Amino acid sequence: MRRAFSVIRCDAFWRKGNWASWSTIRELLGDGNDENEFIAMTTEKARPILGRGRFAPSTTGRAHPGTLLAALLCWLDARRVGAEIVLRLEDLDRERTKVGYVDQLDRDLAWFGLDWDRRVLQSDDRERHEEALDSLVREGRVYACDCSRARVRAEGRPAPDGSYAYSGRCRDQRVRAGRWRAEPRPLRVHLDARRRELRDESGKDLSGDAAELFGDPILRRRDGAFAYHFASVLDDAALGIDRVVRGRDLVPATILQVALQEMLGLDTPVYRHHCLFLERHEQKLSKLHGAVDLETLRTRYSAEELCGAIASFVGLASKGTRCRPADLVADFDWARISDLDVELRFDAAVGLSPAKR
Ligand SMILES: [Zn+2]
């Protein structure tokens, strides 16, 4: 009895060479496995849970190589240390999320070999997003903005994420408590001007004054959807996420998320940003997106070949490796991963290949 208690008190276990979360063990126990067997197996290597990470793709199409790289790195980062990993499907963009996209993305990630301790749909949390907006409205911080994109651009400085810092022109149009639901215009929040010092886990400097860099951010868009940064920080907090691993394209906006967390009284997780897969359009390099999706990749690769190829592009495996994500857990180390973005090409005959520098 005492031994069983000691196991239940722990949250992560060494199982088949990997740290498995307590929820995984519980699932296995539920399948009629012998509890004593697990107790014997885990007594020596049980240790407290080391956090919870998440992979949070937007559900606007099939997985592409960039999606799979981000998913793989989030998953390995968590599995390596016995943290839990949540799949959060970000489906708030009604215009771009089509019927079937959510299930397809689920299937794509499962085919690639990734599993999750928990899976959530962002749209299921609408009530919680509304409550948070309610409280900011009550504090008198939220206002309706009727500026066109052209006006925001004309009056604002370029923001670090490629948008334009909002001038604050509509701040007088404060929304009264209980009235925001009927408001057809985009809603912004008045952000406190203050510089915040922050580095991500790899040492990237994320410091800055979000109000100066971005202006007051939109919380709810014209189409009624909650804006990405607002929903994202609320959901991270609600899920108890303490590690956020994501592409370095989100580096510039991190300080804005931190300012929102502060305003909402939420903890700031540890951030880690990784390199991106890029593609060349004429002279310009951009984030690899949509040029080649999993439907096309599956005509050329098995799951093991594709996982090995993606791992090899960032330094996690040698060229020609065939593997499942679970095979990469034991040797996973951020120090092995290239900090440089990788330019990829796709050719139906050759598959994906890094462009020569
Ligand atoms: Zn405005």
Kindly list the protein residues that place their beta carbon closer than 5 angstroms to ligand 1, a single-atom ion.
Answer: 145, 147, 169-170
Ligand 1 center to 251 CA (angstroms): 26
Name the CATH superfamily, with its identifier, for domain 126-274: HUPs (3.40.50.620)
Give the Å distance between the CA of 117 and the centre of ligand 1: 42
Could you tell me the distance, in angstroms and rounded to a whole number, from the CA of residue 146 to the centre of ligand 1?
5
Going from the Cα of 223 to the center of ligand 1, the distance in angstroms, rounded, reads 16
Identify the pLDDT of residue 9. 33
The length of the chain, given as a count of residues: 357
> Where do the CATH 3.40.50.620 domains begin and end in the chain?
50-116+276-354, 126-274
Q: What is the pLDDT of the chain when averaged over all its residues?
A: 86
pLDDT band at 92 (very low <50, low <70, confident <90, very high): confident
Q: Compute the distance from residue 255 Cα to the ligand 1 centre, in Å.
A: 22
304 CB neighbour count, 10 Å cutoff? 16
Task: Give the DSSP H or E segment for 244.
Answer: strand 243-247
pTM, two decimals, is 0.83
State residue 31's pLDDT score.
57
Which residues lie closer than 8 Å to 347 by C-beta, 6 or more apart? 353
Can you tell me the distance from the alpha carbon of 183 to that of 54, in angstroms, rounded to the nearest whole number? 33
Q: Is the pLDDT of residue 5 over 70?
A: no
Does the structure show a pLDDT above 80 at 118? yes
In the predicted model, what is the mean pLDDT of residues 249-266?
Answer: 95
Q: What is the pLDDT of residue 11?
A: 42
**Alpha carbon of 143 to ligand 1 centroid (Å):** 9
CA 142 – CA 95 distance, rounded (Å): 25
Q: For residue 126, how far is its CA from the centre of ligand 1 (angstroms)?
A: 25
Q: How far is the CA of 147 from the centre of ligand 1 (A)?
A: 4
CA 136 to ligand 1 centroid distance, Å: 18
Question: Does the 50-116+276-354 domain belong in CATH 3.40.50.620?
Answer: yes
Q: Could you tell me the pLDDT band of residue 40, with boundaries at 50, 70 and 90?
A: very low
Alpha carbon of 169 to ligand 1 centroid (Å):
5
Cα 38 to Cα 3: distance, rounded to the nearest angstrom: 11
Confidence of residue 20 (pLDDT cuts 50, 70, 90): low
173 CA to centre of ligand 1 in angstroms? 9
